[in-house]
Amino acid sequence: MDHSILNSTKKVLGLEADYTDFDTDILTHINSVFSTLNQLGIGPSEGFMIEDATPTWDAFLGEDLRLNQVRSYVFLRVRLLFDPPPTSFVIESLQQQINKLEWSINVQREGEAWTDPNVPTS
């Protein structure tokens, strides 16, 4: 398995790692999804961004195997942004998978680092 975030995302999109014509577009979408994940409390607290094929999934997720679903989430979100399916049925199916993964990721994160949103601040 390719541990490069960019190359593994390209593979899921049906592109070879050495085909670089769409790298800027794909990198933009990956980084956008990282911003969403940061809002969900996933990844480094200061944020995360990639500019080439060097960064790996371990650099983003660490070695927590419970977060493996994050990869699927990134792949699906990037696919919808980069190459949306032609039919609304497939788009809806992908969106449902994204919503389920987002919920599951959020539950996982809350199980580890939940904070009460109703705690009064000073």
**Span 55-65, pLDDT tens digits:** 999 999 888 78
Residues above pLDDT 70, as percent of the chain:
89
pLDDT at 65: 81
Size of the chain in residues: 122
- CB neighbourhood size of 6 (10 A): 21
Which pLDDT band, with edges at 50, 70 and 90, does 119 fall under? low
pLDDT value at 121 more than 90? no
* Res. 2: pLDDT tops 60: no
Q: What gap in Å lies between CA 18 and CA 110, rounded to an integer?
A: 38
